[in-house]
């Protein structure tokens, strides 16, 4: 759903840019708490920091990789992950907005995917709206469902499913305000919501599988699963049984260096990076070549008649291929690997800077 230049007029694009900039500014402040493990200090705060900050950069790189995997949803139409729900559930809503913003920035600047003048529109629609809708619904469902991991995965599915047509509705509203062609908005809304309901199913499946996979190995890294009271399981004679709660010690010593190392997310981070590289560098070659939902609706309804050439159309990586590499498989694979690496580097660097800036609450603690 990357909006190109020329779909939305300059005043509305500028207004959307202001909204996006404001959302990013608010998210920077909120992300300091999410990445810092809260306002607490000491070992708990440090552990939260060390776990969450590396994951945020990985989430951005993973979203970039999976967005390259267009999947067919109808005759001549494809869809791809938006990622707002996934990012918000894994690393928190504020950090989630920043993850999607980093992905969209890298796609627009390096790969000519999504207009540069439309960057504010894309961040607002694909980042802010999806995160707000998905995380709001997710938290509401988690509050009413039993506090189990299964409830987290169910809530993840429904939140991701709803977030995609919500983004389609938001785009239609923006187009109604500043569309550059005169087309019936009712038809645009019906077409956009209809096709993006189908895309939302794919979004929900990808989000649920990813959240479920992380929950299975490191539930403590899933922001949306914090506070779940799942009893410790022990394997006895081949069966899992609830462990007896241990008596609380009178004084718990600070964790030793080996204990901290055991809790390190390094293994998950490595697996995630390798997975993203494989998806972008190899699996993406088999992605659907059909236009995505927005492109299909734009062509059918005539809202793309004034689309403008991308300012980065001459980029060496434009259209997810490496310039002067004639082999399509190699060109696309190299572009995908470069994109994942660049997004990981920029995202991780940005999140480390955000993480190291203490919140006022932490400074006063």
pLDDT tops 80 at residue 110: yes
pLDDT tops 90 at residue 240: no
- How is 41-63 classified by DSSP, letter by letter? -HHHHHHHHHHHHHHHHHHHHHH
Q: Which helix (H) or strand (E) holds 111?
A: helix 93-111
Measured between alpha carbons, how far is 105 from 283 in angstroms, rounded to an integer?
A: 23
Q: Using CA atoms of 147, 148, 154, 160 in order, give the dihedral in degrees to the nearest 10.
A: 70
Q: Which helix (H) or strand (E) holds 305?
A: none
pTM for the model stands at 0.87
What are the two backbone dihedrals, phi and then psi, of residue 102, each rounded to the nearest 5 degrees?
-60, -45
For the record, the structure tokens of 39 come out as 């306002």
Look at 123 and 257; give whichever has higher pLDDT.
Answer: 123
Q: What is the pLDDT of residues 67-81, one digit of tens each?
A: 999 999 988 999 999
Within 8 A by CB and 6+ apart from 298, the residues are 7, 304, 307
Q: Which of 25, 36, 20, 21 is nearest to 360 (CA)?
A: 36
pLDDT tops 80 at residue 276: yes
pLDDT score, position 38: 45
Measured between alpha carbons, how far is 268 from 64 in angstroms, rounded to an integer?
A: 18
Q: What is the pLDDT of residues 188-227, one digit of tens each?
A: 999 999 999 999 999 999 999 999 999 999 898 899 998 7
Q: Which domains does the chain have, with CATH numbers?
A: 10-227+262-364 (1.10.1760.20)
Q: Three-class SS of residue 142?
A: helix
Measured between alpha carbons, how far is 180 from 202 in angstroms, rounded to an integer?
A: 30
What are the two backbone dihedrals, phi and then psi, of residue 328, each rounded to the nearest 5 degrees?
-65, -40
As a whole number, the mean pLDDT across the chain is: 87
The band of 184, judged by pLDDT with boundaries at 50, 70 and 90, is: very high
Q: Which helix (H) or strand (E) holds 236?
A: strand 233-236
On the CB side of 179, CA atoms within 13 Å amount to 20
Q: What is the pLDDT of residues 282-303, one digit of tens each?
A: 999 999 999 999 999 999 999 9
- Between the alpha carbon of residue 180 and those of residues 197, 238, 304, 330, the distances in Å are 25, 65, 9, 38
The band of 242, judged by pLDDT with boundaries at 50, 70 and 90, is: low
Measured between alpha carbons, how far is 206 from 193 in angstroms, rounded to an integer?
A: 19
Per-residue pLDDT averaged across 324-340, rounded? 96
pLDDT score, position 241: 57
- How is 261-304 classified by DSSP, letter by letter? HHT--HHHHHHHHHHHHHHHHTGGGGS--S-BHHHHHHHHHTTT
- The angle, 0 to 180 degrees and rounded to 10, between the axes of the packed helices 42-67 and 84-91 is 160
Pairing of strands 233-236, 239-242: antiparallel
The band of 264, judged by pLDDT with boundaries at 50, 70 and 90, is: low
pLDDT score, position 263: 54
Look at 136 and 34; give whichever has higher pLDDT.
Answer: 136
The band of 362, judged by pLDDT with boundaries at 50, 70 and 90, is: very low
For the chain, percent of residues with pLDDT exceeding 70: 83
For the record, the structure tokens of 258 come out as 């080996």
pLDDT score, position 36: 73
CB atoms within 10 A of CB 346: 18
Look at 304 and 228; give whichever has higher pLDDT.
Answer: 304
Q: Which helix (H) or strand (E) holds 9?
A: none
Q: What is the pLDDT of residues 125-183, one digit of tens each?
A: 999 999 999 999 999 999 999 989 999 999 999 999 999 999 999 999 999 999 999 99
pLDDT score, position 45: 43
- How is 167-234 classified by DSSP, letter by letter? HHHHHHHHHHHHBSS---HHHHHHHHHHHHHHHHHHHHHHHHHHHHHHHHH-GGG-GGGTT--PPPEE
pLDDT tops 60 at residue 355: yes
Contact (CB, 8 A) for 303 and 183? yes
pLDDT score, position 227: 75
CB atoms within 10 A of CB 93: 24
- Between the alpha carbon of residue 37 and those of residues 48, 134, 201, 275, 355, the distances in Å are 4, 22, 32, 26, 9
Look at 244 and 112; give whichever has higher pLDDT.
Answer: 112
């Amino acid at each position: 759903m990357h909006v190109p230049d020329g779909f939305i007029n300059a005043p509305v694009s500028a207004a959307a840019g202001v909204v996006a900039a404001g959302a990013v500014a608010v998210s920077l402040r909120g992300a300091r708490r999410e990445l810092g493990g809260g306002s607490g200090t000491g070992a708990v705060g440090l552990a939260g920091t060390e776990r969450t900050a590396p994951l945020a950069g990985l989430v951005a790189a993973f979203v970039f990789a999976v967005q390259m995997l267009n999947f067919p949803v109808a005759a001549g139409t494809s869809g791809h992950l938006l990622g707002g729900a996934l990012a918000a559930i894994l690393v928190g809503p504020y950090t989630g907005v920043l993850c999607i913003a980093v992905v969209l920035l890298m796609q627009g600047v390096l790969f000519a995917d999504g207009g540069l003048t439309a960057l504010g529109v894309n961040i607002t629609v694909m980042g802010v709206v999806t995160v707000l809708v998905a995380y709001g619904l997710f938290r509401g469902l988690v509050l009413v469902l039993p506090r189990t991991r299964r409830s987290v995965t169910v809530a993840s599915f429904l939140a991701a499913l709803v977030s995609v047509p919500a983004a389609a509705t938001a785009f239609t509203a923006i187009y109604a305000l500043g569309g550059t062609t005169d087309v019936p908005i009712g038809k645009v809304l019906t077409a956009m919501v209809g096709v993006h309901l189908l895309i939302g199913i794919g979004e929900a499946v990808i989000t649920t599988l990813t959240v479920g996979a992380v929950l299975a190995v490191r539930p403590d890294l899933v922001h949306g699963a914090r506070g779940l009271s799942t009893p410790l399981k022990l394997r006895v004679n081949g069966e899992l049984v609830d462990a007896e709660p241990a008596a609380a010690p009178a004084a718990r010593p600070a964790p030793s260096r080996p204990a901290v190392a055991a809790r390190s997310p390094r293994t998950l981070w490595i697996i995630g990076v390798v997975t993203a590289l494989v998806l972008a560098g190899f699996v993406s070659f088999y992605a659907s070549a059909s236009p995505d939902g927005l492109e299909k609706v734009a062509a059918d309804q005539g809202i793309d008649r004034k689309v403008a050439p991308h300012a980065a159309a001459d980029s060496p990586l434009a259209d997810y291929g490496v310039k002067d590499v004639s082999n399509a498989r190699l060109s696309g694979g190299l572009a995908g690997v470069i994109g994942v690496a660049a997004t990981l580097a920029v995202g991780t660097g940005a999140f480390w800077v955000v993480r190291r800036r203490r919140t006022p609450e932490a400074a006063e603690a």
